[in-house]
Structure 1
Amino acid sequence: MRDGPRPADPPRAEVLAYGALAAPLAFGGLPLYIHAPDFYAADLGVGLAALGVVLAALRAVDAVQDPLVGWAGDRWPRARPAMMVAGAVALVAGVAGLFAPMGLPLLVWFALMMVLASLGHSLISVNLMTYGGVWRDAPAAKSRISGFREGFGLAGLILAVSLPAGLAVVVGRQASLMALAAVLAIGMAICLPLFLRWRRGARFDLQAAPDAAPPGLRAFGPFYAVAGLVLLSAAFPAALILMLVRDLLGAEDLAGAFLLAYFVAALPGAALAGHLGGRFGAVPVWTGALILSIAGFAGALALGPGTVGLFFVICLLTGLTFGADLVLPPAILSARIGATGSAAAATRAHAGLAFLTKAALALAGAIALPLLARAGFRPAAPNPEQALDALRWIYAGLPLVLRALAIGLLIQFHRKGRI
């Protein structure tokens, strides 16, 4: 990698070339955990409890996979571009295969395709965040770089969650999900070469350090603890939103509109978080955003049949704060890497955040789906009030508690200089 002076404010064209890859990459993250479990449960008849077990087992794979991706990136930094190309192939194949099951039992197929898509997502996302984290030293630039990247990611999320809902009424649900895989492939074919061209001309502080110790819990543990709680609190609503809209609100035809409102609201939230984070500091701004999000989750406890207007307001409010959740944690982690002199282990540090992101999404499903099954909940079927209460409290009550705990830890750790 090349060294040299780094301006605090990178040119817009370079930031765009770097961040655009986050748009197709977003197809393989949150949207999979929104669409895939509900598709397998409601359309293919797979039991909720069984899906929860598989999602839990997938975390054991990620527990090995993500640290290995991080270790390989730090051990062979020149191999990162090849790793990202391999990741693109795996991600496209996994997403396409997930929605076109064939040959094997459904649960086995679901697990294999999720592993393949998850591996591809890790190979790209871990290295993408690493390049952004060591590209510029100035804290304000890190927030701006993170903001642009997550802005593209949000654009990808918006397309990934709204496209299937819009096409399903015309071509059916499975065909609409296959269209999602096709758009992912096209996006990767456009954005990955653009990124690789940018990488060849950029300057970084990355070097191979085979003997460097991985970042320890003492340096990054407090950050990971807060980030894990926040990610898990966002994962429960992501895993259950389609069931909540269809089975509690009775507004299945508005599912796409709710998702669109949430992610569209996250766009100005991400831009505002990136701006304020560069001006006032990422930690104070993130703390304020988390406090604001509490109001949204509290309001969700009042949801019931027909409360469409209330849910739109909740989607807008929580979407706005979700933008901060996307932009600020990577910027905080990058600053922490610089403060602790851990640049040689930067990829492993970002791999930890990538692991927490996927672990939260799968853990939420592994917890929520069996709990709903025990409460007697059945997707796309009439449900007793007890089952709907369980859906409401798992969707909003658990995230409310997790966010409150995260806020307390974030304030405490920041005062002690550990975040």
Structure 2
Amino acid sequence: MSSSLNSAEFPRQAILRYALPGAVMAMPLIPAFVLLPAFYAETVGLGLVRTGLILLLVRISDVISDPIVGLLSDYLRRWRLGKKIQIAIGAIICGSALYALFTPSESAGDLYLFVWYGLLLLGWTIVQIPYLAWTVELTSDYHARVSLNATRELSGLVGILALSIFLVITADYGARQQLAYAAVFVVGCGVIVFPLLLSLPTGRLHQPPLKLLKSLSGLSGNRLFFRLLSAWFLSGLSIGIATACFPLFITHVLVLPEAYNSYLLFIYFLSGILGIPLWIWLSGRLGKHRSWGIAMVIACLAFLTVPLIGAGDLMFFGVICLITGFSLGADLALPPAMQSDVADWDNYLNRRDSSSFLFALWSMATKLSLGLGVAGAFVILGQGDLGQPSGDAEIDPFRLAVIYGWLPAVLKITAVALMWGYPLTARQQQAINRRLQRRNRPLS
């Protein structure tokens, strides 16, 4: 790999060009993962259980593509333009699927949702894996990786906030028109921003890529990877449950109009932006793993109070959105930076850079956890609704509140237990990088 990028010091302009596409990639998170399940279940009329099961099937089929795309990414890194060509193709697939998914016809059914949601996730995977793995090339410094990942995720939150403002402005247009306008807005931003990313220099991987079985066997000794991945999966599962329940909670527990979805999401993500600088500062003093653990504990305390909320308790729920949003900054910025450190450790153990493959497994765990969270929440909430043509089944407000509040808290506490004594600290990571540099130093 080219060593010109592998430095803690790199131009701020390069950081900006790397981070800006994160805003566009994050924009669909609100409509695709928060609003879309309820939209297809209730407005399109597929029903809670059917929608949840379709989304789960898409997620399960989608995870098969992750290791394949990861191995392909490591293979394409042997050419300097390989990474860029892959990202460009993925962006085109993602944009086309996004528009189709957000503009369903009146006759759209199960197959329509399955196909276009699957293509959206496939395009997302093709872009996301090389995009995340790029951080391993950009810097090998423990703390600089936090800043780089935090800048990308901060950009993502700004993108989400921008789309939240857009959704607030278009809140009176109705769900169908609002999602259609959102699709045009996101695709237009992508056309402007992605060329900036593709103008970045990239390293070249001189080692031949490993085959799938050899890549998997090389992971057997990397217990740190599986420990971090398990905590990330549990955290993602809690996020999937919460995002599925969020719009339903506003409608069926707070008994507020749908427009409040956009207002409260704006508060949530604005709080996330404000929280990121604190988590960067704290990780520099306590380490990434401890800072992430503290953030998850804070979120748990807020989630535990959710069943106390009743109809009209807007201020109470607004405070919960502020607290959990503030903790979100740590969820977004710190675990991917820890994964970059794990990629260095894996490189040292197995004498081969498989960072794209590792981030492919990371992406696979992310999507599977979110899918299981959404499907699980919808199936529990929609018991007895299987086979009904619409989303008219009664939802028990207390059951919804317990699923939305207590299940994520239990999952996050388990993730904290896994991470609190995590041994890959700044000192250990710096020692690993010194050994990698000595190993890769050419003989005189």
Both proteins in one fold, TM over 0.5? yes
Q: How does 1:112-191 map to 2 (within 5 A)?
A: 112-169=115-172, 171-191=173-193
Paired residues of 2:133 and 2:359 also in contact (CA < 8 A)? yes
Q: Determine if contact 2:145/2:337 at 8 Å carries over to the other structure.
A: yes
Distance 1:376 1:40, change over 3 A: closer
Equivalent in the alignment of 2:209: 210
Deviating above 6 A after TM superposition, structure 1's stretches of 4 or more consecutive aligned residues are: 375-382, 415-419
Supply the distance in 1 between the matched residues of 2:339 and 2:239 (Cα, whole angstroms).
Answer: 19
Aligned to 1:66: 66
In 2, the alpha carbon distance for the partners of 1:207 and 1:240 equals: 47
Q: Is 1:37 the equivalent of 2:43? A: no
Matched residue, 1:91:
94
Residue 306 of structure 2 corresponds to 300
Answer yes or no: is 1:249 the counterpart of 2:251.
Answer: no
Among 324, 337, 341, the alignment partner of 1:335 is 341
For residues 324-372 of structure 1, give each alpha carbon's deviation from its aligned partner in whole angstroms, at most 9, with x where no partner exists. 0000000001011112326621001111121222222211121111111
Distance 1:405 1:56, change over 3 A: same
Q: How far apart are 1:270 and its partner, in Å?
A: 2.1
What pairs up with 1:179-328 in 2 under 5 angstroms? 179-198=181-200, 200=201, 202=202, 204=203, 206-211=205-210, 213-214=214-215, 216-219=219-222, 220-252=225-257, 253-328=259-334
Change (3 A) 1:35 1:217: farther
Q: Which has the larger radius of gyration?
A: 2
RMSD: 2.5
Q: In 2, Cα distance between the equivalents of 1:112 and 1:331?
A: 33
Alpha-carbon contact 2:237-2:370 (below 8 Å) kept: yes
Using the alignment, how far apart are the partners of 2:290 and 2:421 within structure 1? 12
Tell me how far 1:152 sits from its aligned partner.
Answer: 0.7
The one-letter code of the counterpart of 1:179 is Y
Aligned residues between the structures: 413
Residue in structure 1 matched with residue 440 of structure 2 by the alignment? none
Tell whether the 8 Å contact from 2:238 to 2:411 is kept in structure 1 after alignment.
yes
Partner Cα separation in structure 1 for residue 150 and residue 411 of structure 2: 25
Q: Is the 8 A contact 1:266 1:323 kept in 2?
A: yes
Structure 1 gaps, min length 5? none
Runs of 5+ unmatched residues, structure 2 = 430-444
Aligned-pair CA distance for 1:34: 0.8
- Decide whether the 8 Å contact of 2:94 with 2:119 is kept in 1: yes
CA distance in 2, matches of 1:297, 1:205: 45
| TM norm structure 1 | 0.92
Aligned residues of 2:42 and 2:392 also touching (Cα < 8 A)? no
Structure 2 CA distance for aligned equivalents of residues 87 and 256 of structure 1: 28
Deviation at 1:125, TM superposition (A): 1.2
- CA distance in structure 2 between the partners assigned to 1:391 and 1:103 by the alignment: 29
- 1:81-138 CA-to-partner distances (Å, cap 9, x unmatched) read 1111111111111111112224975111011110111011111111111001321011
Change in 2 beyond 3 A, CA 1:284/1:207 = farther
Q: Match for 2:245: what amino acid?
A: L
Structure 2 vs 1, CA of residues 405 and 372 (structure 1 numbering), >3 Å: closer, same or farther? same
Identity between Structure 1 and Structure 2 (%)? 25
**Partner SS state of residue 4, structure 2:** coil
Q: One-letter code of the match for 1:397?
A: W
TM-score of the pair, normalised by structure 2: 0.87
In structure 2, do the counterparts of structure 1 residues 53 and 230 end up closer, same or farther at CA, with 3 Å as the change threshold?
A: same
Give the superposition deviation at 1:383.
4.3
Deviations 1:185-219 (A, max 9, x none): 11111111101112x2x5x4744432363252541
- By how many angstroms is 1:239 displaced? 1.1
CA contact (8 A) 2:276 2:333 kept: yes
CA distance 1:244–1:328, shift in 2 (3 Å): same
CA distance in 2, matches of 1:259, 1:217: 40
Q: Is the 8 A contact 1:222 1:418 kept in 2?
A: no
Asked whether the equivalents of residues 227 and 329 of structure 1 are also in contact (C-alpha less than 8 Å), the reply is yes
CA contact (8 A) 2:41 2:391 kept: no
Q: Deviations over 1:245-293 (max 9, x none)?
A: 1111012232211100100000122232233324432111111111211
